[in-house]
Structure 1
Amino acid sequence: MTVNLQKAEFVLSAVSPKNFIQDGLPQVAFAGRSNVGKSSVINRLLNRKNFARVGAAPGKTIHVNYFSIDRTFYLVDLPGYGYAKVSKAERDRWGKLMEDYFSRPDLLTLGVMIVDARHKPTADDCTMARWFRDTGCPLVVVANKLDKLKKSEIEPNLQVIWDTLALREEDTLIPFSAEKGTGREELLGAILTGIEQ
């Protein structure tokens, strides 16, 4: 399958479940902690500089944002979790929106979860991995910020991520650098394979 990544366009921001798109096209959901570089990973994947807004302050994605990729699938940008300096009420609202999205496993084709290659995944990361697993969809974990690690740290860090998130044999872990482009082809391949299944 070939997909023209240049044909990427913003479709809508869902503020409640009634706005979720349900037209049968595959949905690839991107999730990650607020400061993990999710927008940078999406921009690198699409080879676009400012496609997904990169916020100076983490926590800029506050809705479920849908992008149509070549009218073949949706890239679904989920709200960041864990860090953003917002009120508890706002955080609870995001949490509810995420729960509503994950309670509809029929919508989800593939999960892409972004973690920081330098650090052990947090409790929030483990919860997110579990949410993806519970939907039954395949999961791709992107270990971003690889360029900030020494060569000798890469393998041990990836092992810690794999073990902490309790990844399964069918899950995929991709070492990635949004900065340098490392892992882009692997991520694109995993997405295209995921939407074809």
Structure 2
Amino acid sequence: MIKKAVFSVSNSDYTKCPKTDKPEIAFIGRSNVGKSSLINMLAGVKDLAKTSGKPGKTQLINHFEIDGRWYMVDLPGYGYAVVSKSTKSSWEKMIRGYLTNRANLIAVMVLIDSRLEPQKIDLEFITWCGEHDVPFVLAFTKADKLGLEKTKVSIQRFLDAAKEIFGEEPQYFITSANKREGKEELIRFFEAEISEYYEALG
């Protein structure tokens, strides 16, 4: 259970992020996938991460300190956003730099809209993560929007596509920020990963 979540710092340069003395779990996904809503639901703070109907709202690497023990990191979305090509390019460079250089990054939650057919950009991103040894986990969002059966079918399509890439299904969670679905499972996962990180440090 998360007891205290506070904003720490925003940066456009991973080298200026907080010291790597606490584990980090980052959140990323296609623009407008419901990232900020999921972060707020998990943290139990309504406006911790800024939500917007306009894609591309998150433009920096945002660190939130959780219980003084670890960081939840909100990364800019990839894909469609109402920004210039040069801005998109700088985002991509910033995201790649962060993901491949943070020694304390223990998991990347890749958010996938559970309502959609498998999106090429999502599959390309998890492929890139695999190629660069970035430890990712899938979090399917907006699971309350289609109904149980349609959601299951949609999620399985994505998992099948991912299995073609990796030979097995990636670890995944099913979430709904509106109905708080998946919160307990994700918190348990975070706690296990964080405990493992600190145990490895001795």
TM over 0.5: yes
Superposition pairs of residues 133-152 of structure 1, within 5 angstroms: 133-152=130-149
Q: 1:105 Cα deviation (Å)?
A: 5.1
Superposition pairs of residues 115-194 of structure 1, within 5 angstroms: 115-166=112-163, 171-194=170-193
Would you say the 8 A contact 2:111–2:139 is kept in 1?
A: yes
1:46 aligns with 2:38: no
Would you say the 8 A contact 2:162–2:170 is kept in 1?
A: no
Distance verdict in 2 for CA 1:121–1:192, change over 3 Å: farther
Would you say the 8 A contact 1:111–1:132 is kept in 2?
A: no
Q: 1:129 Cα deviation (Å)?
A: 1.5
Q: Structure 2: how far apart are the matches of 1:169 and 1:90? A: 35
Secondary structure (helix, strand or coil) at the match of 1:103 reads helix
Higher mean C-alpha displacement, 33-42 vs 167-176:
167-176
Q: Structure 1: how far apart are the matches of 2:10 and 2:118? A: 28
Distance verdict in 2 for CA 1:36–1:112, change over 3 Å: same
Secondary structure (helix, strand or coil) at the match of 2:155 reads helix
Unaligned runs of 5+ in 2: 197-202
Structure-1-length-normalised TM-score: 0.90
Partner of 1:84: 81
Would you say the 8 A contact 1:110–1:195 is kept in 2?
A: no
Partner of 2:64: 67
User: How many residues get paired?
Assistant: 194
Structure-2-length-normalised TM-score: 0.88
Q: For 1:114-170, what per-residue CA distance to the aligned partner results, in whole angstroms no more than 9, with x for missing partners?
A: 110011232221232234334535432111111112222132222112122336658
Partner of 1:98: 95
Distance verdict in 2 for CA 1:42–1:91, change over 3 Å: same
Q: 1:102 Cα deviation (Å)?
A: 1.9
**Pairwise CA RMSD:** 1.9
Distance verdict in 2 for CA 1:18–1:152, change over 3 Å: closer
